[in-house]
């Protein structure tokens, strides 16, 4: 199938060399005027058409450019607008995480996709990794869960600039940045994929210049509690654990990669599992190709509901810490207008 890659940043260039082996033919690469040279170079490398604006790409689609799906690898604050435009053009969307700036936007995207009968899928590597699927499979073996903990702490290459006063998108509240919306999205997805929606959420954040540089999210699941740690201002190795009454599970590495899983039972039984893929994005893009090719609406709907739950948790967490994005203020205004 043919795919257009929108964005020329790190995540897009990480995926591009492998898309062909994952079932995708790159039809177009879309950048901006500022990234025109890089866009042309990437398009030449992957035998694709180059576009320096999203409007020019959509115009080409309207004039016959064949494209089965669009991969939106753009800054967080652009997810909502560009996804709506893509859906309106009748194209399937693979949307880089986080799904939207807030849950209101997320619901709007899902509703638009359903009405247009197009596929909308969130590119969140965590939920598709073979090691993560094994963690789900082994979870019942440890009995009633009591404590779960997941950590993604990585010192950001942009943090020094932030401390010096240069605000890049990763730390810009106007662009829906911050630790929670970046690394924290993987942590929340890891928990939601295992346990579903919590009864309540609380985010204790380290905040500078109105944005969270690190923090701890506590999720209350009634009979057990979960903790998600995300940090861009400090780093530490990640060992993720789920503690149950009959034993515990550990998973190595950060939740975007999902490393080896080990089962430890109270009777001394241990099992180890590790099927690591060479590229952390492989599993999700192969599954996206399958879903669209096989018209698997059922799985798509399951994933959409999961994305909505993740968006709700992220929104509630930010609200509890008093972190507000311009997108939140816009959503509140739109809600009030509809209510009146």
CA atoms within 13 A on the CB side of 286: 13
253, part of any domain: yes
Compute the average pLDDT of residues 281-286.
98
Compute the average pLDDT of residues 274-297.
97
Q: What's the total number of domains in the chain?
A: 1
Residue 144 CB burial class (10 angstroms; 0-12, 13-18, ≥19): exposed
pLDDT digits (tens, 9 = 90+) for 61-86: 999 999 999 999 999 999 999 999 99
Task: Output 13-22 pairs: Cβ under 8 A, ≥24 positions apart.
Answer: 13/42, 14/279, 14/281, 15/71, 15/73, 15/279, 15/281, 15/285, 16/42, 16/45, 16/46, 18/279, 18/281, 18/282, 18/285, 19/46, 19/285, 22/282, 22/285, 22/286, 22/289
pLDDT value, residue 28: 98
Report the CATH number at residue 278. Answer: 3.30.360.10
69, part of any domain: no
**pTM here?**
0.95
Q: Which band of pLDDT confidence, cut at 50, 70 and 90, is reported for residue 325?
A: very high
309, part of any domain: no
pLDDT value, residue 330: 75
214, part of any domain: yes
pLDDT digits (tens, 9 = 90+) for 28-56: 999 999 999 999 999 999 999 999 999 99
CB 85 within 8 A of CB 113: no
Position 105 pLDDT exceeds 80: yes
DSSP letter for each residue of 226-275: EEEEEESSS-B--EEEEEETTEEEEEES-TTT---EEEEETTS-EEEE--
120, part of any domain: no
The residue segments making up the domain with residue 199 are 129-282+317-321
Q: How far apart, in Å, do the first and last CA atoms of the chain sit?
A: 45
pLDDT value, residue 337: 42
pLDDT digits (tens, 9 = 90+) for 56-67: 999 999 999 999
231, part of any domain: yes
Position 333 pLDDT exceeds 90: no
195, part of any domain: yes
Position 274 pLDDT exceeds 90: yes
pLDDT value, residue 65: 96
Q: Which band of pLDDT confidence, cut at 50, 70 and 90, is reported for residue 339?
A: very low
Helix (H, G, I), strand (E, B) or coil at 71: strand
228, part of any domain: yes
């Amino acid at each position: 199938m043919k795919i257009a890659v929108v964005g020329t940043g790190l995540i897009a260039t990480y995926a591009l060399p492998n898309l062909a082996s994952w079932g995708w033919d790159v039809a177009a690469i879309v950048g901006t005027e500022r990234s025109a040279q890089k866009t042309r170079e990437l398009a030449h490398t992957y035998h694709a058409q180059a576009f320096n604006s999203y409007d020019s790409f959509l115009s080409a689609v309207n004039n016959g450019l064949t494209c089965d799906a669009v991969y939106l690898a753009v800054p967080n604050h652009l997810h909502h607008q560009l996804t709506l435009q893509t859906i309106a053009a009748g194209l399937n969307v693979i949307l880089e995480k986080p799904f939207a700036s807030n849950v209101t936007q997320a619901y709007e995207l899902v509703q638009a996709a359903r009405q247009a009968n197009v596929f909308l899928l969130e590119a969140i590597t965590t939920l598709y990794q073979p090691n993560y699927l094994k963690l789900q499979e082994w979870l019942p073996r440890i009995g009633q869960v009591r404590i779960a903990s997941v950590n993604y702490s990585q010192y950001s290459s942009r943090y020094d600039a932030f401390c010096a006063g240069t605000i890049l998108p990763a730390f810009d509240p106007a662009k829906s940045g911050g630790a929670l919306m970046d690394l924290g999205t993987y942590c929340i997805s890891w928990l939601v994929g295992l346990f579903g929606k919590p009864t309540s959420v609380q985010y204790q954040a380290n905040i500078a210049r109105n944005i969270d540089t690190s923090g701890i999210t506590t999720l209350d699941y009634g009979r057990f509690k979960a903790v998600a740690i995300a940090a861009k201002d400090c780093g530490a190795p990640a060992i993720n654990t789920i503690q149950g009454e009959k034993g515990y599970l550990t998973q190595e590495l950060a939740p975007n990669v999902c490393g080896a899983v080990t089962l430890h039972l109270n009777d001394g039984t241990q099992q180890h599992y590790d099927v690591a893929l060479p590229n952390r994005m492989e599993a999700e893009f192969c599954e996206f190709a399958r879903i669209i090719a096989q018209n698997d609406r059922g799985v798509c709907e399951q994933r959409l509901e999961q994305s909505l739950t993740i968006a709700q948790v992220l929104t509630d967490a930010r609200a509890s810490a008093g972190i507000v994005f311009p997108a939140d203020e816009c959503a509140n205004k739109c809600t009030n207008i509809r209510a009146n």
